[in-house]
Structure 1
Amino acid sequence: MPLSDATVPSRRSLLRESVYEQLRDAIVDGSLAPGEKLNDQELAARLGVSRTPVREALLRLAQSGLVVADPGKSTVVADLDPTAVRHARDVVASMRSLAVRESVGRLTPEDVEAMTQASERYAAALADGDIDAALRADDDLHAVPVVLADNRAIDAVLAQFTPVIRRVERARFDSFAVQDSIARHAEFIHLCAAGDALAASDHEFETWRTLTHDGRRA
């Protein structure tokens, strides 16, 4: 049976995803600040697109808790609400822990090496004071078991709520030294390489679960 056109991403779907990612990243990195009003017409003009993909992106961002929409009135960038952050944090921690538990037994030496290299890039970025590079390296490290788990439900939940946590991560980098995270990375990689799925899973859960709303560890 031939593949239908629906199996190939359309230009419209790619545009929609691009607009969503640009707005999401602008909120996460603070370019769009908490409380800032978001006008779909103005955003569309800035991005060079029609209002439709912007409106669709704002709906998705509202579902993640990154924006707050008041129908018929205004849409604003959400504040870092402690309760919302705690809920997102707990869900992200659980999903990442599950991914580790499902994948540790299938990690190859190449996977472990990829995690090790990501940890080294993270440490180098910290030394350079490069927050963006550090967060990218951290993403790369923790993505290894998630990709290997190959669980679409986990992927969907993380895609929805990890950006909320990333806003907190940036606050954490600004608020206090994170050198202890280098040691935590090393311990996590050691547990994964040793094939200790339960301990590695617990370690990953605690890494994410102990983030509080201001980015500090509980």
Structure 2
Amino acid sequence: MTAAPVRSKTQYAYETLRDRIAEGRYGPGARLVFDRIARELGISPVPVREAVRRLQAEGWVVFEQNVGAQVAEFDPDGYRHTMEALALLEGHAVATALVTEAMLDRAAHLNDLMAASLVEFDPLGFTRLNREFHLLLCGATPNPRLRELVDKEWSRLDMTRRTTFSLVPGRARESVAEHAELLRLLRAEAPAEVVERFAREHKLNTLRAVDTRSPAPFPGEFTS
């Protein structure tokens, strides 16, 4: 049996930094000091620098002159564009998904966990469950190109998604109710156009909630 490949130090640094940014441990504008991070990870600064360059190429990090590497600020336009794209992509993906009873049961379980988390609301934990719920259903589409596009847009969303349910915590309860209705439609084998329209509107409802929230400065809303 072939042993699993060992992660390179650059890959280790990349995954650690990306996860810390996604989880809000490094908020927007936070400086990424290579030497300090290298000491924390027990590696040299070189793989950290290479990891940060990759994060920059993906949009997680920006470089400012005389400042260095920083976590990218929230991009409202980028967020809107990604949510609008996902509304279209997910709508079609879920409508064409070849779901099984086991998948629907798993999705229902994830939604139950989301509902339970509302008691002592943890936006980051809710977001992780929400992501798994959506990718589970979208992953059942037989179209590999569509799955790839959905995954790519969710990766983009990861850079800002940590804010959504912090910005509009009330949207979380609505989202759980809409998930339940979507699962009801799928179990009832509702027409594809009905499922597609509902899944699309579900995503757009979140975008509308963010658009109509009470104004507040974005940087402060990234605290976890």
Q: TM-score, normalised by structure 2?
A: 0.75
Q: What is the distance in 1 between the residues matched to 2:212 and 2:187?
A: 26
Over aligned residues, Cα RMSD in angstroms? 3.1
Aligned to 1:161: 156
Aligned-pair CA distance for 1:124: 0.3
Amino acid across the alignment from 1:25: D
1:57–1:214 CA distance, 2 compared to 1 (3 A): farther
Taking the aligned partners of 2:55 and 2:21, their CA distance within structure 1 comes to: 10
Instruction: State the shift of 1:188 in Å.
Output: 1.3
Q: CA deviation at 1:155?
A: 5.5
Alignment-derived partner of residue 134 in structure 1: 126
Cα distance 1:123–1:68, how it changes in 2: closer, same or farther (>3 A)? same
SS at match of 1:49: coil
User: Could you tell me which residue of structure 2 aligns to residue 186 of structure 1?
Assistant: 180
Residues 68-217 of structure 1 mapped to structure 2, 5 A cutoff: 68-70=62-64, 74-103=68-97, 106-149=98-141, 151=144, 153-154=148-149, 156-172=151-167, 175-176=169-170, 178-195=172-189, 196-212=191-207, 215=210
- Runs of 5+ in structure 1 lacking a partner? none
Point out 4+ residue stretches in structure 1 off by more than 6 angstroms: none
Distance 1:177 1:91 in 2: 20
The aligned residue for residue 55 of structure 2 is 61
5+ long unaligned stretches in structure 2: 214-224
The one-letter amino acid paired with 2:112 is E
Shift of 1:210: 3.9
- CA deviation after TM superposition for structure 1 residue 118, in Å: 0.8
Which secondary structure state, in structure 2, belongs to the residue aligned with residue 203 of structure 1?
Answer: helix
- Indicate the residue corresponding to 2:6 in structure 1: 11
Moved more, 18-27 or 106-115: 18-27
Give distance in 1, aligned partners of 2:49 and 2:39: 13
Measured in 2, the distance between the counterparts of 1:217 and 1:159 equals 22
Measured against aligned partners, the alpha-carbon deviations of 1:34-91 in whole angstroms (never above 9, x if no partner) come to 1111123322222223334433432343344322124786111111121122223233
SS of the equivalent of 1:31 reads coil
Does the Cα contact within 8 Å between 1:36 and 1:77 map onto a contact in 2?
A: yes
CA distance in 2, matches of 1:63, 1:189: 37
> How many residues get paired?
208
Partner of 2:222: none
Q: Retained in 2: the 8 A contact 1:99–1:154?
A: no
TM-score of the two chains, using structure 1 as the length reference = 0.77
Q: Are residues 116 and 163 of structure 1, via their aligned partners in 2, closer, same or farther at CA, if it must alter by over 3 Å?
A: same
3-state DSSP class of the match of 2:24?
A: coil
Moved more, 61-70 or 139-148: 61-70
Contact 1:19 1:54 in 2 (8 A): yes
